Amino acid sequence: METFTRLYPDTASGLTADDIAALVPGAAPDDRPFLLVNMIATADGRATIAGRAGPIANRADYELFHALRTRVDAVLVGAETVRVESYGPMEPAAVLVSRSLDVSPEVGMLRAPGNRVIVLTPSPDRELPPTAARVEYLRDDIAGGVRRLRTELGMRSVLSEGGPQILGDLMRAGLVDELHLVIAPKLAGGIDPLTILTGAALDPPAELRLLTVHEAGGYLFLRYGA
């Protein structure tokens, strides 16, 4: 098990991923879940290496990634992230965001028979092929769908795991309560790198409040209030 050192607002050592995850979630608003976003980037701002976020992470990030899942009712993720990252059996419900529903039933999330997958899509009639996972549909845009997770399904907390387009959509809709950003001590370079937020510019730029900073293995774990 990896240990973390808290650098801000005060110092403490020997902390675990569970200690950090215990800081969330906060109180849910009346009309939607408390929504936290977990993202990772290299020191030069890349959100992926060779098309995936996995090569950026270290063991401490992996442990915190899974510890955060134990604190929420659902994990929200975009279809592209599900296609390229390793998703398998999940304890919380999964919210799969997709416009086209062009997702193979062979991806790990849909292949696990114990998974509950809520497909959030604006499509009025498209459906996934038959899957081993239990699938239900919430037909709405992301702003309306996230609110309905609370008002119709009773979910009080949601963790978004990306990708960058999803973060952009959530920020523009004013749905993000916290951003957990991991900065890896890596430089990757490359032309037109993918960053943690894509889509239309935020105008004005969103102001974030630094809540906590932890360190493990040279990685910085930044927690912001949005």
Q: Can you give the residue ranges of every domain in the chain?
A: 30-225
Class of domain 30-225: alpha beta
| Burial of 29: CB neighbours in 10 Å, binned 0-12, 13-18, 19+ | middle
pLDDT score of 25 = 97
pLDDT score of 213 = 98
- Alpha-carbon span 199 to 168, nearest angstrom: 6
pLDDT of the chain along its 226 residues, tens only? Answer: 999 999 999 999 999 999 999 999 999 999 999 999 999 999 999 999 988 898 999 999 999 999 999 999 999 999 999 988 878 999 999 999 999 999 999 999 999 999 999 999 999 999 999 999 999 999 999 999 999 999 999 999 999 998 899 999 999 999 999 999 999 999 999 888 899 999 999 999 999 999 999 999 999 999 999 9
pLDDT score of 147 = 97
pLDDT score of 162 = 82
| Burial of 179: CB neighbours in 10 Å, binned 0-12, 13-18, 19+ | buried
pLDDT score of 85 = 86
What is the phi/psi pair of residue 145, to 5°?
-65, -40
Q: Can you give the pTM of this predicted structure?
A: 0.95
- Alpha-carbon span 20 to 23, nearest angstrom: 6
Question: Could you tell me which of 154, 118, 157, 152 has the C-alpha nearest to residue 138?
Answer: 118
- Alpha-carbon span 137 to 139, nearest angstrom: 6
pLDDT score of 113 = 96
pLDDT score of 86 = 76
